[in-house]
Amino acid sequence: MNNNGDKNEFLVSPDPSNPDLSAEVVGTDHTGQQVVTRVVAERPLTLYLNRQEIVTMMTIGDHPDLLATGYLLNQNMLHADDRITAIDYDDELGVVVVRTERETDYEEKMQKKVRTSGCAQGTVFGDVMESFDEIRLAEGATIRTSWLYELTKKINTAPSLYLEAGAIHGCVLCQEDRPLVYMEDVGRHNAVDKIAGWMLQNSATPHDKIFYTTGRLTSEMVIKTVMMKIPILVSRSGFTAWGVELARKAGLTLIGRARGRRFVALAGNHRVIFDSDLSSEPEEESRHTRKGART
């Protein structure tokens, strides 16, 4: 974690050197030769809210406190003004318990689920959509194309588990042309929830932020971004029709296929300020790929 406030550094960033997050595995490649490659960790984490078991998630295992609080916040089980009295984590048991001053009971709520397209079986609860319809995003927020190009350069070249081992999603909380918090996980919804947890624990304001994801712009990504009250969502990847429909309904700026100088905005186009000279912006030289296997 970098905390020195340098404009070019992340406040929180991936730690690909952490031995608990990936492992070396021996295999055989297409030529029949032995290879050693890195694979990401995947382990269960069971979340409790006070005395109630909520969900078991598959995760790489970093930042369990942020993942837990962010998940509960994005599922409307934790309120922004709730007082969290403790977060207890047992690494050996794979359990995290969030304790609140407010008494909670979500037995009925948990019976009303919507399975999303998120990998690792993303889920949202029915009443989340009711809150979604009531949220109003900051109309004054903007994204300059110069910021967008600078963000993609910084994010795509930052050390990450994706570059080290692949098979992982990344999400980044940004402000103007500065990436602030970069989280990764096997499920993109987990990476989003970690950022939501960080924002809650650090009292970060959402109205002037930009959310970047490496994954598809699905309904789930749009719902979670709107629930976090962030007005701009950007991805290297493409869109789903429902994701676009929900973004337009919520007034979310939705930018996809952001690679090199190219991008497409399919919702909230009024927030985009075209201030770059495209002739000075290079095309993406090559697809950012991980290090891969070693012979």
Give the E-state strand segments of the chain in sequence order: 22-28, 34-40, 43-49, 52-59, 84-90, 95-100, 113-115, 123-125, 143-144, 169-175, 178-185, 210-213, 232-235, 253-259, 262-267, 272-273
Q: What is the pLDDT of residue 1?
A: 41
Task: Decide: residue 2, CB within 10 A, 0-12 exposed, 13-18 middle, 19+ buried.
Answer: exposed
Give the E-state strand segments of 127-205 in sequence order: 143-144, 169-175, 178-185
Q: Report in angstroms the alpha-carbon separations of 67 from 74, 190, 200, 246.
A: 10, 6, 11, 24
pTM of the model: 0.87
Q: Where are the domains of the chain?
A: 1-295
d(CA 35, CA 26): 6
d(CA 194, CA 94): 17
Q: What is the pLDDT of residue 8?
A: 52
Q: What is the pLDDT of residue 49?
A: 96
Angle, alpha carbons 149-151-154 (nearest 5°): 110
Residue appearing with tokens 């950022």: 195
Q: What is the pLDDT of residue 285?
A: 57
Instruction: For residue 36, give both structure tokens.
Output: 């050693």
Contact indicator for 242, 249 with CB cutoff of 8 Å: no
Contact indicator for 15, 62 with CB cutoff of 8 Å: yes
Is the CATH number of domain 1-295 3.40.140.10? Answer: yes
Show pLDDT as tens, one digit a residue, over the chain (295 residues). Answer: 444 344 458 999 999 999 999 999 999 999 999 999 999 999 999 999 999 999 999 999 999 999 999 999 988 899 889 999 999 999 999 999 999 999 998 877 776 555 444 444 445 555 677 788 889 999 999 999 999 999 999 999 999 998 888 889 999 999 999 999 999 999 888 999 999 999 999 999 999 999 999 999 999 899 999 999 999 999 999 999 999 999 999 999 999 999 988 999 999 999 999 998 887 777 765 545 455 444 3
Residue 3's contacts (CB-CB under 8 Å, 6 or more residues apart) are 11
Where helices occur in 25-144 by DSSP H, the ranges are 64-74, 126-132
d(CA 129, CA 75): 10
